[in-house]
Amino acid sequence: MHSNGKGSSGSNKPNSKMPPVWSNGNKEEVEELILTLSKEGNSTAVIGTILRDRYAVPDVRLVTGERISQTLSRNNIVPSFPEDMMNLMRRALGLIDHLNSNKKDIHNRRQLELCESKIRRLARYYKGNGNILETWTYKRDQLRLMVE
């Protein structure tokens, strides 16, 4: 977003409608695992990684028919902030702590500005979707309370 990078590289997921034969295809068992892993405090990305590595579920959506976040919201487990926004706020908090001890680091001061602009942009998007409150605003001095 804030760089002049061009192109996209990387692998694409296989185009299939059914889970592989070797995978765990039991819908109820996978949903139960998702709920248990969420109660342990794992984020949706970590839950997906654990299901892939430990329980042989390469794609939750092929098994359950919905995303991990949709499964959690159906069971009334909704975080206060979306995961991508929380990750950006954690990054901004780390940059703020770094800049408190390194006052002259102008490169990371710029990175903090870019990170904060991404947070504000995401906040606008999530306010429109109703994922966060309309009255919520990003404030640097209150960031530590929101993240921890």
Answer with the one of 74, 96, 129 that is the final residue of a domain: 74
- Confidence grade of residue 39 (pLDDT, cut at 50, 70, 90): very high
Q: Do 93 and 143 have their domain in common?
A: yes
Domain range for 103: 83-147
Measure the CA–CA gap between 19 and 22, rounded to whole angstroms. Answer: 8
Answer with the one of 74, 94, 111 that is the final residue of a domain: 74
Domain count, the chain: 2
Q: Do 92 and 138 have their domain in common?
A: yes
Give Cα separations from 5 to 1, 2, 8, 130, 147 (angstroms).
9, 9, 9, 31, 30
Q: Is residue 16 in a domain?
A: no
Given this model, what pLDDT does residue 13 score? Answer: 80
Give Cα separations from 11 to 14, 25, 49, 60 (angstroms).
9, 24, 17, 18
Whether residue 7 has pLDDT greater than 80 = no
In degrees, to the nearest 5, what angle opens at C-alpha 42 toward C-alphas 30 and 113? 135
Q: Is residue 53 in a domain?
A: yes
> 3-7, 51-55, 143-147: which has the minimum mean pLDDT?
3-7
Torsions phi, psi of 137, nearest 5?
-135, 150
Q: Is residue 47 in a domain?
A: yes
Q: Is residue 56 in a domain?
A: yes
> pLDDT tens digits, residue range 61-91?
999 999 999 999 999 988 888 999 999 999 9
pTM summary value: 0.81
